[in-house]
Amino acid sequence: MRLALLTLALIGVALSLLAVTAFAERNLVPTLERSFEVCPDRPAEPSWMQEVPLRQAYQRVLVQDIYRAQNLERIVESGNCDCETRFPSWYAAEEVFHERHASDERWEMLEASDAYNRRANDVRIEAKAICEAAGNW
CA–CA dist 93, 64 (Å, integer): 8
Asked whether the predicted pLDDT for residue 25 surpasses 60, the reply is no
Q: Are 131 and 85 in contact (CB under 8 A)?
A: no
CA–CA dist 105, 94 (Å, integer): 17
The pLDDT value recorded for residue 2 is 65
Asked whether the predicted pLDDT for residue 9 surpasses 80, the reply is no
pTM here is 0.75
- The string of DSSP codes covering 15-74 is HHHHHHHHHHHHT----S----SSSTTPPPPPHHHHTS-GGGHHHHHHHHHHHHHHHHHH
R_g over Cα of the chain:
24
Q: Please name which of 90, 79, 64, 86 lies closest in space to residue 136, comparing C-alpha atoms.
A: 86
| Interval 81-136: pLDDT, tens | 999 999 999 999 999 999 999 999 999 999 999 999 999 999 999 999 999 999 99
Angle, helix 106-134 to helix 57-78, in steps of 10 degrees = 40
Sign of the Cα torsion 10, 14, 20, 21 reads positive
Q: Cα 101–105–108 angle (5° rounding)? A: 65
Using 50, 70 and 90 to split pLDDT, how confident is the model at 37?
confident
Every domain of the chain and the residues it spans: 1-30, 47-134
CA–CA dist 47, 96 (Å, integer): 17
CA–CA dist 112, 66 (Å, integer): 9
